[in-house]
Every structure is written in C-alpha cells, then in structure tokens.
C-alpha cells in the first residue's frame, strides 16, 4: 500500500466496507474463526483446518474466511461467527472439527442454524 | 424469511456477560482481522492520529488527554495527560515513547489480548503520545512469552510503516516517529518503569531510585514517557471523540472503562471491559455468571501481587481507583481473581508473597530479605507451626518493607498479606491457635478421622494406606494414627461407607 494521507483513510474505509459487505455475487457468507491465544489453546487451529478442508471439498468460492482475536468469552472457546447474506450473525461456542463440519454443511451451505452449538445471535454493541 | 429456530438463540445484548460490558478499548474485538490494517482503518482507525497531526498542537493533545481524566492502566493510575505534560516540558531533542507490555501479574491477560486482537490501536496511541511530547522513537517492551502478540505487532508495525503511519513524514505531515519491539525475558520486576528502561539498555533489569523521574531522565538518560498497553489503546478514541465523550462514563475521579481479566472460581472466565464504578457484584455475578457448583463467594483478588482481597461484604462496592484502594486492594492492571469458599486465605497470601520473593531482584535489602522472611512465617502458619504474635510481626514487617523498599515491587509486596489479615484475621488465628485450616486446604493441618458409628471394619482403609496409619481389628471400627498419617486422603476416597472425614 502506498503512503497514506488523511483523505486516503476515508477512501480505504469505504472501499473495505463495500468489499467486505455480503452480497449475491459474493461473498455470500463469511465465517470468522476467533484465534486469540485462548482460542488457539482450545483448538481453534483444528477448527480452521476443518473449515478450509470443507470449503476445498465443496469447491465453494463465495464464502469468505477470516480470523479475529478473542471475543472475551475465553471459557467458551473456540468461538466461530457465521454471517450469511441478509441474516443475523450467529456465534457458535465450544467448536471442534466435527461441529465445524456440520455448521459448514448445514448452516453455511443450507442456511440451517445449528442451535445446539449456538451461543448468541447479532453483534456486540460498541460506541 | 425468519428461521423458526432463531428466536431460541439469545441476542448478544440478552446475554449478561456481554450486556453489562462497554467496549472502548476492546471495541474491535472479534470484528477485525488484526493482520489487516485496512480493517482497522475501516473502523475509523488512525483517524485520531490524523486529527492529532493535522488539527491539533502538541499542547492541545495534552490538554485533551488531561481533560478526559484518563489515568494509567498499568497499575498506579497516574493521570496520563499530566505525565505527558511533564515530559513535554523536559528539554532535549531526543525523547522516547515506551509501551509497557510486560504484563507480569499472575492471572492477567488484558494486554496480551489487546495486542493480539487490535495491535494498531496501541501503535496509534503511541504515535499520538510521541507527537505530544516531541519524541521520534519508541519501544514496545513485550515479554517473549507472548509469541502471538509479538507476531501480530510485527505485522502491524510493518503495515503501518508501508502506509506511512510510522516512519518518516507520517500522513504527509512532516512528523517522524518509528518504533521497535524489545522482547523481555518475563521477569516481573521488569514491568517496573526504571527496571524496564534498564533492561532495554541491555543491562540486567533492576530498578533505580527516583527522582530523576523518567519524564526528566528515562531511557538512556533521555526524557521518556512510559504507558501501559491499555492506556495507549484508549488515546486515539479520546482524541477523535473528545475528552467529554470519554469522561461521560465512569465515576468522579475514575473516568472511562477498565478491562479486567476475569479468572478463578467464576463461570465465565474471560476478558471484560466495564465502565469504571461498576460494582464487583455485577462483574462477578452478572458478567461472570457467578461461582461454579453453587459455591459461595469468598473474596476477589484485585491487583495481583501488589493488590489485595475484597470480601463478600463489599460486593456492592464500586470498582474505581479510590474505592478499591480504600478497601485495601488496588485497581492494578486488571487481574481479577474470584475465590470461592474452598480457598484458604492464608494459602493465597502465601502464594503472592512467594511470587514476590521469587521475583524480587535482590537490589535492596528490605524487599530481598523481607519478602523471604514473610514467606517463612506464612509457610510456618500453613504448616501448623504458627506462633502467637506472628500476625503482629507480619503487620510490623509489612510497614517497614513498604516504607523502605527501593521500588514498587517491595513497596506493594506486603499488600496481599495486610488485606487478608484485615478481612480474615480469624482464619489466620484458627491456623495459629487451633492448628486448623477452616477451608481444609493446608495439608499439614488436615486431620483424617474415622466415624466409629459408620465404620464397619471392612479394612479397606488399612489396605490402601501407604504408611499403615489406618489400622484396626477386622469388623471393629478402625483408627488413623495422626503421627504417621501423611494426609494423602486415599482412605477417605476408598471408604465405601463414608466413615472417614477430614477437617
Ligand atoms: C514490580 C512492578 C511491576 C509492574 N509491572 C507492570 C506491567 O507489567 N505492566 C504495566 O503496564 N505496568 C507495570 N508496572 C507499573 C509501571 O511501573 C508503570 O507505572 C506503568 O507502566 C506506567 O504506565 P501507565 O501510567 O499507563 O499505567 C509495574 C510496576 C511495578 C512496581
């Protein structure tokens, strides 16, 4: 990235928001694996590997995968957030490779939320 | 289309753990990818820096930070704006901005989480501080035990440099500032400001007397500002949204929010950010979800080895700098350890003083010898060798060690002992006078005894006892010889009739 000026910051913001917004032409869904030290210690890397394998197997191109830090609830790690176009984000708790596979197959691909592992829906409030 | 099942899942706002939090320092948690600077920028990142560099003079930055009421989050709670002002007034063209990411308190992980999840927030705060005091170079002192934090920081620093947000001519304004990470070996004393600077200078991390204060003569004798990770992570928002916005949350003298690492006997172990002045009860019972197994709350330990315990009778106390200090603990950097009724308070005090005597650098006598002596006395008490007068001796030593130690380590090391004596003196006395540990933790004070009514004389205890302390005639009530019993508890575990108990 080239050296930025103050004006560039706003442009980057708009560009990122436009690019990351879910849409019909893709990305249609986004899966975030929370990978702070606490998440990794409880198995987030295995969850991420399982997710990548599922995506490769399914040959899907319109699902974005990203990582993020700790969401605060270290005791429920690994945590995964699934966002699908036009739906509220769902946070899944205490994930492992098998649960990730199921969430991918059922929720990401077919839109069926896996309530047994769901912790919450929506987003945290911040100022 | 609404899915039929979705209504059964609570919203984030309906879950007490999230509902009672207020996210400022942690505002990007779980949202951005810390490895992508553009995601930070998309959350208004670096706008605070842009404002500081293009619309404000250094004096105005300091004024804004001072007016916000922000106090250092590393422990002592010194007003950040005032610290910057002192340093800005020091003469010299070489000054340093230093970030304290040593985080040595047992059970604390606030700074690690911030660095892992939102490293740019810390960098942005440091550049703003540099502009305020006129510094052009800085260091982040981070313990090597935090590999992921260091990894994320390295990525963030490289990206910020590439974007011209670190280095020469930042945002095209002509201001230069760059920084590097200095990895510490993880000694607790290196979190102390003068020891930290000595360590960066390549020498053994030991404190030196103050004055001169770092604002006058810090790293390599140059005027320096040292702030905690969370302090720096608060700065950009203050500059961007203003002092009044920041001060709109909190108590009269403690403004803003505080991040706590909530651990111990609590259902929701995790990282929480709450407005200053939130009650301990809200943190433990609402956010923390209470104590597992229906156990009772005994005390919360705040401030780690420099802090103290707050007992159940003060659960409704407001958690702010003044109130916490009044109760004999300190706000500290944010370690909050919840203890249930099964914890022995003398054992807890012993744990912390053991930590301090281990981490004492040895430079000054009161800390080096004093913490060791206090540990000996406490160990004696937990082993049933406590003597009448031990409590008074501990209190007397505490005052001397606090008053005569060179640095904050020794000056605060007696706090956990003083605060536990203040609230749980009867527990110390039970150990000393009755040879009894009310919580049943201190092994040496345990007494395994047989209930003759329930004992059938089956002989299982005698068979499993490794020292043959459990014995008796077949079909007759057995006994445990206290002199040879090593308190391993195997007899109690194996007894099918619950005839063996411990007190
Ligand atoms: C023994 C000892 C250990 C300390 N450890 C830390 C630490 O790990 N992190 C920290 O920010 N401050 C620590 N401090 C406090 C620092 O000396 C200093 O006050 C602080 O970093 C200043 O930043 P602040 O004003 O933003 O809080 C420690 C102090 C002592 C005496």
Per-residue pLDDT at B345 = 97
Per-residue pLDDT at B3 = 54
Are B318 and B456 found together in one domain? no
Are B42 and B5 found together in one domain? no
Q: By alpha-carbon position, which residue is closest to atom 2 of ligand 1?
A: B192
DSSP B314-379: GTTSB-SHHHHHHTT---TTSEEEEEETTS-HHHHHHHHHHHHHHH--SSSHHHHHHHHHHHHHHH
Token duo for residue B171: 């945002």
Per-residue pLDDT at A1 = 66
Q: By alpha-carbon position, which residue is closest to atom 10 of ligand 1?
A: B74
Per-residue pLDDT at B1 = 44
Q: Reply yes or no on domain A27-121 having CATH 3.90.1170.50.
A: no
User: What CATH number should be reported for the domain holding residue B213?
Assistant: 3.40.50.11540
ipTM of the complex: 0.95
Are B146 and B72 found together in one domain? yes
B434: exposed, middle or buried (Cβ count in 10 Å: 0-12, 13-18, 19+)? exposed
Per-residue pLDDT at B84 = 98
Per-residue pLDDT at B446 = 92
> What is the position in ligand 1's atom list of the atom closest to the CA of B305?
1
Q: How far is B31 from chain A (nearest CA, A)?
A: 6
In the predicted model, what is the mean pLDDT of residues B72-88? Answer: 96
Are B182 and B313 found together in one domain? no
User: In which residue are the tokens 């490289």 written?
Assistant: B158
B217-262 residue pLDDT tens: 999 999 999 999 999 999 999 999 999 999 999 999 999 999 999 9
In this prediction, residue A51 has a pLDDT band, given cuts at 50, 70 and 90, of very high
User: In which residue are the tokens 């990411």 written?
Assistant: B101
Are B426 and B483 found together in one domain? no
Token duo for residue B390: 């031990």
| Residues facing residue B227 across a β-bridge | B99
pTM of the model: 0.95
What range defines the domain where residue B466 resides? 446-502
Are B138 and B180 found together in one domain? yes
C-alpha distances in angstroms, B360 versus B303, B378, B428?
A: 17, 17, 25
B22-55 residue pLDDT tens: 999 999 999 999 999 999 999 999 999 999 999 9
Assigned domain for B253 exists: no
Are B184 and B153 found together in one domain? yes
For B51-89, give one letter per residue: b (16+ CB within 10 A) or e.
bbbeebebeebbbbbbbbbbbbbbbbbeebbebbbbbbe
B193-218 residue pLDDT tens: 999 999 999 999 999 999 999 999 99
Closest CA to B182 of B284, B100, B279, B86: B100
Q: Which of B2, B4, B11, B12 to mutate to test the interface with A (most CBs of A within 10 A)?
A: B12
Distance B235 CA to ligand 1 centre (A): 17
Are B388 and B463 found together in one domain? no
Per-residue pLDDT at B503 = 77
The domain tally of chain B equals 4
In this prediction, residue B7 has a pLDDT band, given cuts at 50, 70 and 90, of confident
Are B337 and B242 found together in one domain? no
Chain A, residues 86-115, CB within 8 A of chain B, namely 87-88, 90-91, 111-113, 115
Assigned domain for B438 exists: no
Q: Average pLDDT over chain B, rounded to whole?
A: 96
Percent of chain B at pLDDT exceeding 90 = 97
Q: In chain B, what is the greatest distance between 2 CA atoms, to the nearest angstrom?
A: 92
In this prediction, residue B57 has a pLDDT band, given cuts at 50, 70 and 90, of very high
Are B100 and B67 found together in one domain? yes
How many whole angstroms from its chain centre is CA B115?
16
Q: Phi/psi of residue B231, each to 5°?
A: -60, -50
Distance B76 CA to ligand 1 centre (A): 7
Percent of chain B at pLDDT exceeding 70 = 99
Assigned domain for B16 exists: yes
Report whether pLDDT(A92) > 70.
yes
């Amino acid at each position: 990235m080239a050296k930025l000026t103050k004006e560039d910051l706003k442009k980057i913001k708009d560009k990122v928001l436009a690019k990351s917004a879910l849409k019909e032409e893709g990305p249609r869904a986004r899966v975030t694996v929370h990978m702070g030290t606490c998440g990794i210690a409880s198995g987030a890397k295995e969850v991420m590997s399982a997710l990548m394998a599922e995506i490769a197997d399914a040959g899907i191109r319109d699902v974005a995968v990203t990582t993020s830090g700790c969401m605060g609830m270290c005791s429920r790690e690994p945590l995964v957030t699934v966002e699908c176009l036009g739906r509220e984000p769902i946070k899944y708790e205490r994930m492992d490779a098998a649960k990730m596979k199921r969430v991918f197959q059922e929720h990401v691909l077919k839109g069926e939320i896996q309530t047994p592992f769901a912790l919450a829906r929506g987003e945290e409030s911040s100022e | 289309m609404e899915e039929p099942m979705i209504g059964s899942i609570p919203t984030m706002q309906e879950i007490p753990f999230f509902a009672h939090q207020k996210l400022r320092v942690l505002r990007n948690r779980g949202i951005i990818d810390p490895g992508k600077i553009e995601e930070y920028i998309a959350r208004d990142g670096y706008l605070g820096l842009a404002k500081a560099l293009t619309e404000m003079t250094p004096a105005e930055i300091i004024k804004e930070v001072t007016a916000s009421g922000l106090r250092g989050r590393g422990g002592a709670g010194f007003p950040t704006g005032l610290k910057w002002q002192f340093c800005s007034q020091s003469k010299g063209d070489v000054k340093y901005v230093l970030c304290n990411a040593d985080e040595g308190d047992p059970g604390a992980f606030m700074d690690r989480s911030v660095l892992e999840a939102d490293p740019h927030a810390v960098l942005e705060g440091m550049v703003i501080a540099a502009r305020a005091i006129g510094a052009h170079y800085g260091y982040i002192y981070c313990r090597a035990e935090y590999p992921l934090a260091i990894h994320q920081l390295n990525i963030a620093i490289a990206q910020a440099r590439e974007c011209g947000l670190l280095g020469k001519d930042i945002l095209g304004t002509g201001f230069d500032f760059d920084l590097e990470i200095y990895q510490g070996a993880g000694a607790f004393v290196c979190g102390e400001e003068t020891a930290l600077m000595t360590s960066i200078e390549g020498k053994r991390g030991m404190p030196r007397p103050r004055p001169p204060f770092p604002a006058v003569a810090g790293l390599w004798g140059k005027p320096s500002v040292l702030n905690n990770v969370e302090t720096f992570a608060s700065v950009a928002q203050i500059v961007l949204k203003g002092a009044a916005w920041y001060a709109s949350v909190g108590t009269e003298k403690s403004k803003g929010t505080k991040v706590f690492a909530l651990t111990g006997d609590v259902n929701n172990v995790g990282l929480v950010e709450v407005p200053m002045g939130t009650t301990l009860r809200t943190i433990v019972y609402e956010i923390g979800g209470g104590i597992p197994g229906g156990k009772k709350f005994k005390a919360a330990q705040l401030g780690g080895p420099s802090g103290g315990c707050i007992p159940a009778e003060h659960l409704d106390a407001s958690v702010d700098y003044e109130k916490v200090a009044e109760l004999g603990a300190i706000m500290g950097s944010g370690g909050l350890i919840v203890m249930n009724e099964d914890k022995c308070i003398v054992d807890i005090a012993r744990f912390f003083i053991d930590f301090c005597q281990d981490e004492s650098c040895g430079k000054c006598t009161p800390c080096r010898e004093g913490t060791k002596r206090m540990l000996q006395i406490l160990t004696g008490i937990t082993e049933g060798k406590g003597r009448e007068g031990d409590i008074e001796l501990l209190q007397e030593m505490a005052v001397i060690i606090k008053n005569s130690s060179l640095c904050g380590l020794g000056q605060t090391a007696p706090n956990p002992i003083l605060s536990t004596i203040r609230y749980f003196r009867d527990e110390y006395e039970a150990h000393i006078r009755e040879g009894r540990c009310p919580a049943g933790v201190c092994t040496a004070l345990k007494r395994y005894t047989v209930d003759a009514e329930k004992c059938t004389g089956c002989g299982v205890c005698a068979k499993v006892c490794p020292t043959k302390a459990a014995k008796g005639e077949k079909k007759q009530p057995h006994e445990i010889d206290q002199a040879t019993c090593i308190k391993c508890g195997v007899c109690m575990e194996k007894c099918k009739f619950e005839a063996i108990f411990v007190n």
